Amino acid sequence: MSSGWDQVTLGEVTDQVRRPVEVAPLLEYPLLGVRWYGNGPFQREVGVGGVMKAKRVFQVQSGDFIYNRLFAWKGSFAEALRSDHGCFVSNEFPTFRITDSRI
């Protein structure tokens, strides 16, 4: 840990948000991923209801803090960009709003 940095829990500086959307047949859902080692979010494929397996996805808004549960150990954390607003993630990507000015 670098000197001058406070170590805090995620819950001290964020609130978890969930914006569930039921997947509807034939509708398109642009999906987000999170690059490893803090290299930011990226827009993946567009999922199509009835084709993709998910029954529910979660909408992301710009400024959300998201991470990939499966690759958290690889630093898969990001802040959603304006261009990511309205995209979707699976339940494997918890989403948070930053509530503390230290971030």
- Whole-Å CA distances, 97 to 27, 37, 59, 63, 102: 27, 21, 13, 7, 13
User: Could you report the per-residue pLDDT of 33-52, keeping only the tens digit for each?
Assistant: 999 999 999 999 999 999 99
Site of tokens 């080692």: 37
User: Could you report the per-residue pLDDT of 69-90, keeping only the tens digit for each?
Assistant: 999 999 999 999 999 999 999 9
Predicted TM-score (pTM) of the model is 0.89
Q: Using alpha carbons, select from 38, 90, 36 the residue that is nearest to residue 60.
A: 90
pLDDT of residue 89: 98
pLDDT of residue 10: 87
User: Could you report the per-residue pLDDT of 1-36, keeping only the tens digit for each?
Assistant: 567 788 888 889 999 999 999 999 999 999 999 999
